Amino acid sequence: MMLSPELTFLLGVAVFWIVLYALSRVIHLDKHGLEVKPFYFMYKSKALNKILDSWAKKRRKLWLVLSNISIAFGVGLMAFSIYFLMSNLMKFFIPIGEAAPVFPVLPVLTIRLYWMPYFLVAVVVIMLTHELAHGVIARLEEIPVLSTGVLAVVVLFGAFVEPDEKEFEKASVLSRLRMLAAGSATNLVTALLALLLLGGLFAPPAGVLFHEVVPDGPMDKAGFQNWDVILAVNNQTMSVPNDFYVYMRGVKPGETLTLTVLHGNREVKKNITTIAAEENKSRAIIGVFQVSGYGPNRLGLDQYTGVHTFWTLFWIYLLSLSVSIFNMFPLYPFDGERFLYYPLEKLMGKQKRKLRKMLNVLFLGLLAGNMIMSFIRYGLIPI
């Protein structure tokens, strides 16, 4: 009996953590800066400290200007994060538009396995840019950096720059705001750069890219695979997914279609016989799951390399934008929580701790409300 890809992935994750935990006990990895616990590890190092010092000293005035601009970005991102979650929550109850699902990114549960390579590359890019920005601005403001490192919890990875918290709290409010906003501002710039590359390196859609071929379905039996592109059905051009959806509405189960498909950098014509969808026997399907527009690349890359390049840039854009916005949401442990608290700290007086807790409870309720309503309406359907 063959295991499903999802179960194979989860078993692989379990084996990785068991082996890592066993090695940590045998080799004493903690002596080398790697702390390992069940389904958790953290690695700390001072190797990057000199690099951060060097970068902070070079073009000091430029870094100072950029860090001041990042404060303005931080204010805007925080305001947008609050506005988005409030308006999105209202859409679940009032018919004023379609509410967007708000879910954490969890492999298998909320994203499909074929997205994992792109997701992991994007995470690495985001972590490096975000934490390096924090580290450079910390040194710019003369706040010591104790260590830099990476950590993981089950299948979620992260990176960190560990400033000296006592020195951080002694720094001026402006210095602290610069450091807190630097990470999200850098992620926003990264997202914009990725978006510009997507627009410049890829032509407008000229085909229907299918993400996943259903095993033993018509397309699978015809020899097609993930990331192939439907160019035409019965000689009718398919430029965008809507062309495909509209055409398939007029097709009945059992009909034979002549597909023109970009497969392995070659246009292939094959006849396939549609089958009935399980949930609706009157609807014809060809055995593909999830489709999107296919924009040919302008770099001269082959079909699959171009597709992988596109989705890598897309996930860098998507996750960088998401992190830039939600990291400034004023809820612990996001940077936005302290970014909001420090300017208000003196105004709060003796009630500052109580008010800080109240704000955290308020914004936690806002985020939780969006996630709960998303689950109720959409369920945990992987994208």
Q: What's the per-residue H, E or C state across the chain?
A: CCCCHHHHHHHHHHHHHHHHHHHHHHHCHHHHCEEEECCEEEEEECCCHHHHHHHHHCCHHHHHHHHHHHHHHHHHHHHHHHHHHHHHHHHCCCCCCCCCCCCCCCECCCECHHHHHHHHHHHHHHHHHHHHHHHHHHHHCCCCEEEEEEEEECCEEEEEEEECHHHHHHCCHHHHHHHHHHHHHHHHHHHHHHHHHHHHHECCCCCEEEEEECCCCHHHHCCCCCCCEEEEECCEECCCHHHHHHHHHCCCCCCEEEEEEEECCEEEEEEEECEECCCCCCCEECCEEEEEECCCECCCCCHHHHHHHHHHHHHHHHHHHHHHHHCCCCCCCCHHHHHHHHHHHHHHHHHHHHHHHHHHHHHHHHHHHHHHHHHHHHCCCCC
pLDDT at residue 112 tops 90: no
CATH number, domain 208-296, options 2.30.42.10, 3.40.47.10, 2.60.40.420, 3.30.450.40: 2.30.42.10
* pLDDT value, residue 240: 95
- Calculate mean pLDDT across residues 309-325: 97
End-to-end CA distance of the chain: 27
pLDDT at residue 126 tops 80: yes
* pLDDT value, residue 136: 95
The domain limits of the chain are 5-38, 49-202+314-378, 208-296
- Calculate mean pLDDT across residues 99-121: 86
pLDDT at residue 2 tops 70: no
- Calculate mean pLDDT across residues 176-199: 97
Of 374, 345, 218, 240, the closest CA to residue 288 belongs to 218
Query: Which H/E stretch holds residue 34?
Result: strand 34-37
Work out the percent of the chain whose per-residue pLDDT is above 70.
Answer: 98
- Calculate mean pLDDT across residues 43-57: 88
* pLDDT value, residue 48: 83
* pLDDT value, residue 33: 85
Work out the percent of the chain whose per-residue pLDDT is above 90.
Answer: 70
Q: Is the dihedral of CA 82, 86, 89, 91 positive or negative?
A: negative
* Of the candidate ranges 98-112, 160-174, 263-277, the one whose mean pLDDT is the lowest: 98-112
pLDDT digits (tens, 9 = 90+) for 157-178: 788 889 999 999 999 999 999 9
* pLDDT value, residue 355: 86
* pLDDT value, residue 325: 97
* pLDDT value, residue 382: 67
- Calculate mean pLDDT across residues 15-35: 89
User: Sorting pLDDT into bands at 50, 70 and 90, what band is 1?
Assistant: low
pLDDT digits (tens, 9 = 90+) for 56-102: 998 899 999 999 999 999 999 999 999 999 999 999 998 888 888 89
Considering the entire predicted model, what is its pTM?
A: 0.91
